[in-house]
A and B are shown apart, each in its own frame.
Chain A
Amino acid sequence: MNSLKPWLTRFGLVIALVVIGAALAIAKPVFLTVPNLINVVRQISINGILAVGVTYVLLTGGVDLSLGSLVALTGVVAAGFAHPGEYPVFVPVLLGVLAGTACGAVNGVVVTKGRVAPFIVTLGMMTVARGLALVISGGRPVSNLSAEFNWIGNGPVPIIILLVVALVSWIFLANLKLGRYLYAVGGNENAARASGINVDAVKVFAYTVCGSLAGLAGVVLASRITTGQPNAGFGYELDAIAAVVIGGTSLSGGVGGVGGTILGALLMGVINNGLDLLNVSSYYQQIVKGIIIVGAVWLDRRKEKS
């Protein structure tokens, strides 16, 4: 149960969350109300889905910088098929997710078969996908979406989607053979290969899952804001990778898991929500955010050493 470990070793992160939560609850009692907490979880749902996806890739020692662009591309694709009275709602959802899956698979194949560094491959995909989103949409937001489609991003739905994604991934990474292989490949690629693991296939799988989940996040975002926007998702990849790393997954692979990732996303969401509730000025928000994140991780890693 390697992926249970992050939960336990992420104790420092839990403490940081509790301390920040308590401070916010005292300063702004409204923070601890149910509607607000539901808000926080809904607001992290998109970053959370992306972060779970990129956890797969980071575990293998790779990276995916194309997430933000994939969110835009898949959102535009889905929105294009989500106009009222055209197709049943599963069509745009499926096509959005499949568009992400395809891009993720391309990332994986080029990384493994082409032997190009993941940073470069996914950087290329970042601009290609952004370009495709602009081409498909003609540079304009795709709006006038059906009520059924807009239902996906609102109310409890995004929260449920995030929970299902996180739970399935947690079980998968902790207990299934393929899940364990991801750790093995990230931990020591040569040893994994020597022990008979098809390293390339494992990596392609990781990028493909990551792409699919980016597609899902794109669908949820398009639904939440009721348009597919070619400009959406700028910088989302960094927020997602930040959540994973805050949650204790190593950037060099092999260590970490989904539990920590969700904690990381939660911490970022609580900080965003708290600073808005306290009406901290826009300039200071960024400074405070940076300090709290680094501080929380510092506290967490100190705990780990002792």
Chain B
Amino acid sequence: MKRLIALALVLALCGCGRQEPGAKPITIGVTLLNLSNEFIVMLHQAMEAKAKELGVKLIVNDAQRSAERQVQQVESFIAQKVDAIILNPCEVEASSPAVDKALAAGIPIVNVNSETRTAPTAFVGSRDEESGRIAMDYLAKRLNGQGNIVMMHGFMGQAAQIKRDQGAREILAKQPVLKLLADQTAEWDRAKAMSLMENWIQSLGPKINAVFAQNDEMAMGALLALEQAKLKDKVIVAGVDAIADALQAVRAGRLDATVFQDARGQGSGAVEVAVKIIKKQPFEKQVFIPFQLVTKENVGQYLK
């Protein structure tokens, strides 16, 4: 207990010291959706790298998917008087109070990767509809505009699922002879996607020409099921996210395509914008980092 008090005192003293002008480094509070998600881990690493480069200090908290925890973390950032906050929102609605509170306290807040209902000071991220559009467009081209597609959804009702679905359907609507044969959720999960694909192979079998999975985990599951059934050479599979496994599979010619979401671009972009705001330099209120289609032809540049 004594040690704890001593530690608290030291921390408090450091805190006081930091508030004095002059020697004070820029401090940014960061709250992330979930550090057990590969994409968010990459986002985090990019932020740390950029922060080091710009000489700013990051306080990083993991909200572990809980919007409530995220709001508490932002409250504690406000209490610590950070110079800016970077929010990687858990939910559109439920994370909004975090933005409200930061703005009310006069602390600039930058949303990264996904949106909240309340508009933050700035936003850095990608348009998820675009990823659905790019993947479905690729499948449509590969099938010359005709054939049967099945689609695997993420968790129903999550922003990424809704938007990727929306983007995919925009392309489908323009392709009169391209048919969505079946669609079903596999909850972003590889094992569930594998079972779902096995069941589809039984019920739809040779009718399936292509699979669009709303993330790479599910694409890998579908791929494994198709390979087991020795059907992969007849079915085109595309996913989204460009996770390491999927990139390896694209390089090996197993997976046909994935869509690269630029974690590095988003993470370093968010830190950059936050620093610009703190230094009262001009900044863009919305920075959209584009998605990129990854196929065997260009996979080399993403494998590092």
Contacts and interface: CB of A to CB of B under 8 A. Distances in A.
A193 interface: no
A99 interface: no
A231 B243 CA distance: 15
A134 B40 CA distance: 13
A230 B194 contact: no
A230 B185 CA distance: 21
A227 B245 contact: yes
Interface string A269-306: 00011001111001101000000000000000000000
Contacts of A28: 203
B246 to A, nearest CB: 10
B261 to A, nearest CB: 16
Given A139-B41, A143-B244, A227 B36 contact: no
A39 B194 CA distance: 11
A46 B224 CA distance: 17
Contact of A232 (B35, B191, B196, B199): B191
Which of B35, B153, B182, B184 has the most chain A CB within a 10 Å cutoff?
A: B184
B146 interface: no
Contact of A276 (B156, B184, B190, B224): B184
A139 B199 contact: no
Interface in A145-192: 154-155
Contacts of A231: 36-37
A278 B278 CA distance: 56
Nearest to A282: B185
Contacts of B202: 30-31, 33, 35-36, 39, 277
Contacts, number: 81
A266 B191 CA distance: 18
A139 B35 contact: yes
Interface string A120-142: 00000000000000100011110
Contacts of B194: 224-225
What interface size band does chain A fall in? 35 or more
Nearest to B150: A279
A28 B182 CA distance: 15
A279 B198 CA distance: 13
Interface in A222-269: 224-227, 229-232
Which of B38, B156, B183, B244 has the most chain A CB within a 10 Å cutoff?
A: B38
Contact of B224 (A39, A144, A225): A225
A112 interface: no
Nearest to B156: A282
Nearest to A72: B36
B288 interface: no
Contact of B190 (A154, A227, A283): A227
Nearest to A236: B191
A43 interface: yes
Interface in A185-236: 221, 224-227, 229-232
Contacts of B183: 282
Interface string A13-42: 000000000000000101101011001001
Which of B191, B228, B243 has the most chain A CB within a 10 Å cutoff?
A: B191
Interface of A: 28, 30-31, 33, 35-36, 39, 42-43, 46, 134, 138-141, 143-144, 154-155, 221, 224-227, 229-232, 272-273, 276-279, 282-283, 285
Given A30-B203, A231-B36, A276-B195, 17 more contacts: A46-B191, A134-B35, A139-B36, A139-B41, A140-B38, A141-B244, A141-B245, A221-B191, A225-B190, A225-B224, A226-B220, A226-B224, A227-B190, A231-B37, A232-B191, A276-B200, A277-B203
Q: Which 5 A-B pairs have the closest CB atoms?
A: A276-B199, A282-B185, A277-B203, A225-B190, A36-B202
